Structure 1
């Protein structure tokens, strides 16, 4: 038996209710700053009631139910209510278009959709193209037109008897769609054991305890918010402070108001916070640690820690790895320009195209050892070819390039798909971006390869400048020439005001490439 045994999400919640029934589990602040609170016991009651609603609607073990919701209490209640009966949550981005949602709903074969009135029109527009969908329910709805779809009324009218559905730790509890670039998104299968494992890894890696409160501002449909924030809190009997949306100007003010002690961010939100007018009172908060992912320049790391008097920990993980296989050590030397070292329960290698480990300092693909369905994803839904390609002999092939330094820390290089092939040389976009972003006038940069008849690909950089700063294309290219090998220097630089991004701030380079290709035609 491993650390999980045959424990399910239902078992874990019941355990914590027995231990902390009257303790706050979930504190929610909506966009109007109204606050709502549930104790562990109240949360479990809501979960059981909604489980009965689902059963009455014919939702059974193995059924897919799509959540198209912003951050709110109903999202987390629905997640655990579905897990309670062995059904499968399919969380989606509220920014997704009708066409994108048509694909997800049909690919997942979802029978039920839970959304809000604000997003209803995008589904009624395509209702005839959704053959599997039987019913739509509305969260946070207080109108009369759709009163029969009112989720709150249905929950209030249901009994709170705990359903008695046989469950196993390796039953699928959720399917999280990865963001597609050149192909349709893939549905990543996440089990009960996966959720519990990542809660264990994260809570131990940041020394989380029952008195801690996770500050959750990232979107709940994303693995980060589910895996690292919610599950680590539940694992130790801590609490969660959830906001409906991220606010750069109010981040530390909300954290203080809600009594948060730990937080999670991405690179883009960190830069957004730094870009705000500085309020020295923002130092007066209770957060002791913020873990983050994606590249932040060294001077921005220093500035953030000094301005807000909080420690940062860079980590590395993806939807498929479940937990955090790499993280800067809480009690060791932090090198936040790196993605850290292997964490509890993981073995990580950097390998070449033949699967052989590369020497320290050389670039190769990150692969992560684990057990599918427990410490790694179970697989991709209805895609055995992609599953076999990703999961090989107990190793997850991430598609990310890194190198191990002489210090034993892992340094992210780039997505394999982001490597630029220029005149026979491989150029890591991330390396070029690091140099460009080190210029004091530059706020952020994104580097792509564009087709070039002579050199396979040319290097094009998109750059956002700090407000009030000016620099010419040639000046910035000269800056790069002084710091990069000749074949790595950008051929052209385009200044822009903003980048296309995913909901968690990742730059959508496939859109930049598409736009650049159109311009070059």
Structure 2
């Protein structure tokens, strides 16, 4: 990446966007493909700016102002990006929520974030409306109703929360937004909720400076240029899409190719058809692509790198690179450190299965339980050093105690993940014990355990991740039931399905007489994990 394309860290997202609209107005910004109908929409930077401005004016007309926290309960769709940029222009705060979340999860995040506005699509609204809090000030619905009629209010007839058709209001608005907020780079841009290691999700505070730093970082990491076409099927509500795909496209003025869903049968065909030069990947994508029938033309593509997120076995990694003729750039990170703070370099040697080296903007340490530095080769907790609000999160929303537990005054972030270092190369060992990685999503075992514990007849439970060739890990629950409770695996899974997003629901339930415990009564999950 040349110095001329480097965006200073004192830039805000609206300033960054305005610069690209002016400099790259006729360049293709967004290509969206519905993975099932295969309908494609295309927008240049200038065309999309019109939509963003109309959306911002519509939100303002509905009462959204600077500092308003707005929950974006949307799946991968054009409107997600439109709303995200519009809220940034206004100085409002986006609170993305996975559209697959069950209603009670959405209600919990609305409460934790104190969001007074919800943006959702019509079909989803019908599913979640009964669980929305009564003090919600407004619901804005995207997507046209098939009947062409308006949308009902919350609750029974006569509900007091206004439910407004955002698309209709936006269509009547000016194509120019004349009321940009006077923003500082350290102002809050988004709150990204992550499962973490407790049953209560935590909101990671993302500043405008965080977004710009992330974009610059990935531009360096992937050696990006303005003609790159970056294809992703990652969930829009998650950090991988927002900071590792969208942000670098914005900082360098490239093109993002957004897929509504990942489908193994057509993903690589889409990469070829859209002339993608970069793609995002994870274990599930690699393993399912390897299971597809060989296409004689599958090596005829423009992809030079897959931006990959651990874990993956060496066998699959080598088979993928050999079959598809593309290299995997490995890296390690979390929502709290924004992007792959430990990464393979864009040029020079790599040392698989190491996840890379500390990248520009970060330093690393590996420490024992007392916080003492460990020598090369010894496993301990991985610490990352950065600048809060720039290269690290600004903190957890409304939770200073949780922030202080992981982020100290000197800028050291405790990952609670375990690794060792050899010659500067970081070898990842394991995630924190309570976190399960399933299809690229983080599942808190404590959260699943708390849901199972609510079932009448459950005495105690322990949830772990077990190896899954397709999804990386599967969720397995061990349940100790009250004698003669009459529980079975179907009852446990059905209960979880009503209270958790689909990727958090256990695939396997095993009933046991008791759980293994240590001297202090803590469940020894290592004894439950297959060896």
With the length of structure 2 as denominator, give the TM-score of the two structures.
0.79
For the Cα contact (< 8 Å) 2:331–2:355, is it kept in 1? yes
Shift of 1:228: 0.9
Shift of 1:3: 6.5
Return the match for 1:124 from 110, 126, 129: 129
Matched, 1:45 2:50: yes
Alignment of 1:264-413 (within 5 A): 264-392=280-408, 393-405=410-422, 407-413=423-429
Q: 1: CA distance between counterparts of 2:113 and 2:124? A: 19
Q: 2: CA distance between counterparts of 1:107 and 1:215? A: 32
Return the match for 1:235 from 251, 258, 268: 251
Q: 2: CA distance between counterparts of 1:25 and 1:518? A: 54
Question: Which is worse superposed, 351-360 or 308-317?
Answer: 351-360
Shift of 1:43: 1.2
Alignment-derived partner of residue 219 in structure 1? 235
Question: What CA deviation, in whole Å up to 9, does each residue of 1:170-224 have, x standing for no partner?
Answer: 1101000002554111011001000000000000111100110110111111101
Q: 1: CA distance between counterparts of 2:59 and 2:411? A: 36
Return the match for 2:120 from 83, 106, 115: 115
Matched, 1:179 2:195: yes
Shift of 1:290: 0.3
* Structure 1 residues 124 and 264: CA distance shift in structure 2, 3 A: same
Q: 1: CA distance between counterparts of 2:242 and 2:462? A: 39
**SS of residue matched to 1:42:** helix
- What CA RMSD, in Å, does the superposition of the two structures yield over aligned residues? 3.0
Q: 1: CA distance between counterparts of 2:319 and 2:208? A: 39
Question: What CA deviation, in whole Å up to 9, does each residue of 1:82-132 have, x standing for no partner?
Answer: 0001101111111111111110111112222111122112322223x3423
Alignment-derived partner of residue 441 in structure 1? none
Shift of 1:519: 7.2
Matched, 1:4 2:17: no
* Structure 1 residues 264 and 459: CA distance shift in structure 2, 3 A: closer
Shift of 1:507: 7.8
For the Cα contact (< 8 Å) 2:279–2:306, is it kept in 1? yes
Q: 1: CA distance between counterparts of 2:42 and 2:469? A: 41
State the aligned residue count.
450
Question: Which is worse superposed, 339-348 or 207-216?
Answer: 339-348
Shift of 1:353: 1.8
Question: Which is worse superposed, 191-200 or 281-290?
Answer: 281-290
What 5-or-longer segments of structure 2 have no aligned partner? Answer: 1-5, 152-162, 438-442, 450-460, 471-492, 516-531
**SS of residue matched to 1:380:** coil
For the Cα contact (< 8 Å) 1:141–1:150, is it kept in 2? no
**SS of residue matched to 1:136:** strand
* Structure 1 residues 349 and 43: CA distance shift in structure 2, 3 A: same
**SS of residue matched to 2:429:** strand
Matched, 1:160 2:175: yes
Question: What CA deviation, in whole Å up to 9, does each residue of 1:411-468 have, x standing for no partner?
Answer: 111123259xxxxxxxxx99xxxxxxxxxxxxxxx9x999xxxxxx9999845579xx
Alignment-derived partner of residue 145 in structure 1? 149
Return the match for 2:86 from 81, 86, 90: 81
Question: What CA deviation, in whole Å up to 9, does each residue of 1:234-262 have, x standing for no partner?
Answer: 11110111111111111110011112100
* Structure 1 residues 307 and 150: CA distance shift in structure 2, 3 A: same
* Structure 1 residues 368 and 75: CA distance shift in structure 2, 3 A: same
Q: Deviating runs (4+, > 6 A) in structure 1?
A: 457-461
Question: What CA deviation, in whole Å up to 9, does each residue of 1:443-497 have, x standing for no partner?
Answer: xxx9x999xxxxxx9999845579xxxxxxxxxxxxxxxxxxxxxxxxxxxxxxx
Alignment-derived partner of residue 480 in structure 2? none
Question: Which is worse superposed, 206-215 or 132-141?
Answer: 132-141
Shift of 1:278: 2.4
For the Cα contact (< 8 Å) 2:140–2:166, is it kept in 1? no
Question: Which is worse superposed, 149-158 or 220-229?
Answer: 149-158
With the length of structure 1 as denominator, give the TM-score of the two structures.
0.80
For the Cα contact (< 8 Å) 1:170–1:192, is it kept in 2? yes
Question: Which is worse superposed, 165-174 or 143-152?
Answer: 143-152
Q: 2: CA distance between counterparts of 1:379 and 1:258? A: 38
For the Cα contact (< 8 Å) 2:232–2:279, is it kept in 1? yes
Return the match for 1:14 from 12, 18, 26: 18
